[in-house]
Amino acid sequence: MVNSNWEIIHIPGKPSYPPTQQPTVSVFASVIDPKLANTLVRKLNNIAPLENLRHVKRVRKSCVDGKTQLSVILCLTDENGTDLDSMAIDLLELTTCYQLSPFVTQVCKYAAITKEEWEEQGKLWPTSFHPPTYNIDGITGFSEEDSKVVFDYMNFVLKLAKSAGCQLVNAAVIVDPSVNQIITSACDEISSWNVNLDDNEVRSLGTNEASISHSVANGSSSSMFNLDGSPDDPQASCSRISCLNPWQLPPPSSSTSCFWHPLRHAAMVAIEYSASRDRRLYPSMGETDERSIQLDSNGTSTVGFPAKRQKTNLPNVNNTDDPPADRVLSKSERPYLCTGYDIYLAWEPCAMCAMALVHQRVRRIFYAFPNPNAGALGSVYRLQGEKSLNHHYAVFQVKLHDEESMAVTNDGIVK
Q: Which of 130, 291, 327, 415 binds other proteins (CB under 8 A)?
A: 291
Minimum CB separation from other proteins for residue 169, in Å? 16
Minimum CB separation from other proteins for residue 249, in Å? 6
Residues 221, 155: contact at Cβ < 8 Å? yes
C-beta closer to other proteins: residue 53 or 350: 350
> Is there binding between residue 373 and other proteins (CB under 8 A)?
yes
Q: Which of 49-57, 103-111, 285-293, 303-311 is the region at the interface with other proteins (rule: CB under 8 A)?
A: 285-293
Pairing of β 103-108 and β 171-176: unpaired
Q: Which residue type is seen at 335? A: P
Minimum CB separation from other proteins for residue 271, in Å? 6
Q: Which residues in the 294-333 window bind other proteins by CB under 8 A?
A: 294-295, 298-299, 314-316
Burial class (CB in 10 A: 0-12, 13-18, 19+), 316: exposed
Residues 345, 349, 354, CA angle at the centre, nearest 5°?
110
Q: Which residues in the 190-249 window bind other proteins by CB under 8 A?
A: 191, 193, 195, 246-247, 249
Q: How many residues bind other proteins (CB under 8 A)?
A: 56
Q: Which of 288, 322, 323, 401 binds other proteins (CB under 8 A)?
A: 288
Cα–Cα distance, 308 to 340 (Å, whole number): 9
182 SS3 class: strand
Q: What is the per-residue binding string for other proteins in 250-269, x denoting contact by CB under 8 A?
A: x-xx-----xxxxx----x-
Residues 161, 171: contact at Cβ < 8 Å? yes
* Residue (of 309, 302, 313, 305) closest to 333 by Cα position: 309
Give start and end residues of each alpha helix (H) in 172-314.
197-208, 214-217, 266-281, 290-296
Q: What is the per-residue binding string for other proteins in 158-197, x denoting contact by CB under 8 A?
A: ---------------------------------x-x-x--
Q: Which residues of 241-251 are buried (b: 16+ CB within 10 A; e: fewer)?
A: bbbbbbeeeee
Can you give the binding site for other proteins, defined by CB under 8 A? 191, 193, 195, 246-247, 249-250, 252-253, 259-263, 268, 271-272, 275-276, 278-279, 287-292, 294-295, 298-299, 314-316, 337, 350-356, 358-361, 372-374, 380-381, 383, 386, 388-390
